Amino acid sequence: MSLYAQRGVSAQKEEVHQATEKLDKGLYPNAFCKIYPDYLGGDEAWVNLMHADGAGTKSILAYLYWKETGDLSVWKGIARDAIAMNLDDLLCVGIHDNFLFSSTIDRNKKNIPGEVLEAIINGSQEFFDELMKFGVGVRYLGGETADVGDVVRTIAVNGTMTARWPKDKLVTNDRIVAGDVIVGFASYGQAVYEKEYNSGIGSNGLTSARHDVLHKTYGARFHESYDTTLDEHVVYIGPYLMTDPINIPGTSATTDIGHLLLSPTRTYAPLLKLLLTEQFDKIHGLIHCSGGGQTKCMKYLPGNFKVIKDHLFEPPLIFQLIKQASGSDQREMYQVFNMGHRLEIFTDAAAAERMIQTAGKLGIEGKIVGRVEAADKKSLLLMAGDEQIVY
């Protein structure tokens, strides 16, 4: 059994999918988010969407860093994580404006004071203000903040995002065909709208990253930061402290392990705003490589295709550190983490180059990472360095 499973989590969420398999799949079953008729407006040419997600266990990393350093700013990053994980999913069905967002924050008041709530809420509004500069409008409708110390040990930061959108401007993944190329857009580096280096970690696999990278002393000092029923051999088994310095790749500057783990989830909203308005007809499919990592695309293929990813990004530093600390094999790493790119566009080869150039102007590296071939069944072949992995 993998370390990930021993900690009570699943990259593929098999039990969740089983529990929801009888639910209505919506108008477009292959779309990245569930799409329903326009119940709000009653217009057959429009659709409604509602999506819920959050920062996951990344909030525990913020808690540890804040407790160790007193730095409240890390909580603003958690606010961005909760928003980006909703926003970027909805971007993947073609929506790029007029979103409504409601937050849900559950805290243990004994461990999480009001100043933390203030940092999260103010950080949310600051993020929305920044997005508006790129033409991505998100209205903050408030939400629920509950003191539920019997349920959570520290804090859970989640949210719900809603949109109404015209049918003829949707990306449903039904246009993916054999012969398409897959353009991947880097999850790491520093986009023009980011204030510092982004490790690319996103908000997936943080249970694994936290325990595999951080030192045993965190479990001894902060019992509230983990499930104390876990076997101790899977709890905080790494070599690092949060404040251990580390060089930022490609520069002479340094950061620390905590900031690598807490890099706010990169939103691709400024990029997709441009691509969805300038090259909409060329976008055959959109995938947010979140839970499930580089295998995520398999769930949304409109037919029997073989997906080949044989020109992936070199995994950025944070994933190299996690792999080294955990001893995880390549198969598990690519199932749990995005490993370097969190957005995929399925398109034709001629359109791909313009998309890559558009991303470059925003400081985001893009490249063709793979292709789609006809097949008798759905399959994924992934090249991790010299290792070939079949899913």
Question: For 3-195+263-390, which CATH superfamily applies?
Answer: PurM-like, N-terminal domain (3.30.1330.10)
Taking only the tens place, the pLDDT of each residue in 352-367 is 999 999 999 999 999 9
| Average pLDDT of the segment spanning 191-213 | 96
- On the question of pLDDT at 231 being above 70, the answer is yes
Q: How confident is the model at residue 200 (pLDDT cuts 50, 70, 90)?
A: very high
| The two structure tokens encoding residue 18 | 């089983």
Number of other residues whose CB lies within 10 A of the CB of residue 99:
26
In this structure, the strands spanning 341-347 and 155-166 are unpaired
Domain ranges (residues) in the chain: 3-195+263-390
Q: Which residue has the tokens 């999480």?
A: 112
Contact 292, 165 (CB under 8 A): no
What's the whole-model pTM score?
Answer: 0.94
Percent above pLDDT 90 for the chain: 93
User: d(Cα 286, Cα 71) in Å, to the nearest integer?
Assistant: 36
Q: Which DSSP letter does residue 156 get? A: E
Non-local CB neighbours of 384 within 8 Å, separated by 6+ positions:
312, 330, 333, 334, 339
Taking only the tens place, the pLDDT of each residue in 298-347 is 999 999 999 999 999 999 999 999 999 999 999 999 999 999 999 999 99
How would you class 374 by CB atoms within 10 Å of its CB: exposed for 0-12, middle for 13-18, buried for 19 or more? exposed
Taking only the tens place, the pLDDT of each residue in 263-310 is 999 999 999 999 999 999 999 999 999 999 999 999 999 999 999 999
User: d(Cα 364, Cα 269) in Å, to the nearest integer?
Assistant: 12
- On the question of pLDDT at 1 being above 70, the answer is no
| The two structure tokens encoding residue 191 | 């986009």
Q: What are phi and psi of 157, to 5 degrees?
A: -115, 110
Taking only the tens place, the pLDDT of each residue in 82-140 is 999 999 999 999 999 999 999 999 999 999 999 999 999 999 999 999 999 999 999 99
Contact 296, 287 (CB under 8 A): yes
Q: How many residues does the chain have?
A: 391
Name the strand (E) or helix (H) holding 245.
strand 245-247
Number of other residues whose CB lies within 10 A of the CB of residue 325:
18
How would you class 70 by CB atoms within 10 Å of its CB: exposed for 0-12, middle for 13-18, buried for 19 or more? exposed
What's 302-340 look like in SS3?
CCCEEEEECCCCCCCHHHHHHHHHHCCCHHHHHHHCCCC
User: d(Cα 311, Cα 258) in Å, to the nearest integer?
Assistant: 30
Q: What local confidence, expressed as pLDDT, does residue 10 receive?
A: 60
- On the question of pLDDT at 12 being above 60, the answer is no
User: d(Cα 296, Cα 309) in Å, to the nearest integer?
Assistant: 12
User: d(Cα 85, Cα 80) in Å, to the nearest integer?
Assistant: 8
The alpha carbons of the chain give a radius of gyration, in whole angstroms, of 20
User: d(Cα 196, Cα 357) in Å, to the nearest integer?
Assistant: 22
Q: What local confidence, expressed as pLDDT, does residue 6 receive?
A: 72
Q: What local confidence, expressed as pLDDT, does residue 16 receive?
A: 59
Q: What local confidence, expressed as pLDDT, does residue 11 receive?
A: 55
